[in-house]
Amino acid sequence: MKILIINNKGQYNHRIGRSLRYLKIPSELVSNELSIEKIKEKNPIGLILGGGPSIDDSGNCLDYINYSNNLDIPILGICLGHQLIAKSFGGIVSTSYTESYAQIEIDIIKYDFLFNGIDSPMKVWTSHKDEVKSVNNEFEIIASSCFCDVEAMKHKQKEIYGIQFHPEVHHTPKGELIFKNFYNICENYKI
């Protein structure tokens, strides 16, 4: 019963794995080139779509998202993963007006299980040049900042989440709670 971390070749993907190991959350870092069949064979309880340099280098991630109904497991997209989720559901992703490589504060607009135990504003580390500009009506925005309107989003009917920031680095002091909360979402899914 583990979470699969999809490696999108971003600088922090291995840190996600280390963070989960530190929290004793069973996980495995896998290539974004794995087929849907191989993903199913691993029988994960959830997917984390990691960050990466570009949507063009995201392997089969769009397939994983598009087949999420068949996989029927929670998904958390981080940075590029967040953007891929938005794009696959018809949202708009484009270059940010203010590229962000810094610790910022985000405002939690709607408390959800992902933000359980976290106060607003929340300090987070952002490292991106692209961002989600808008989401379709299947999603709701659950956090924003003065730099980006869609810092976090959630599908209204499914356990699919996206966050623009990086919970796996120490510049996001409460980042471990994001991972713990996502693990709880995965463990309690379909109970």
Q: To 5 degrees, how large is the angle CA 87–CA 40–CA 25? A: 85
Distance CA 11, CA 51 (A): 8
146 contacts: CB under 8 Å, gap ≥ 6: 104
Active site residue 82: no
Q: Point out the catalytic residue in the list 61, 79, 148, 186.
A: 79
Reply yes or no on whether 61 is catalytic: no
- Catalytic pick from 82, 128, 155, 166? 166
CA distance 132 to 152: 9
CA dihedral 2, 3, 7, 8 (to 10 degrees): 160
Q: Which of 131, 151, 159, 168 is catalytic?
A: 168
Could you tell me how far CA 65 lies from the centroid of its own chain? 12
Is residue 131 part of the annotated active site? The answer reads no
Active site amino acids: 79, 166, 168
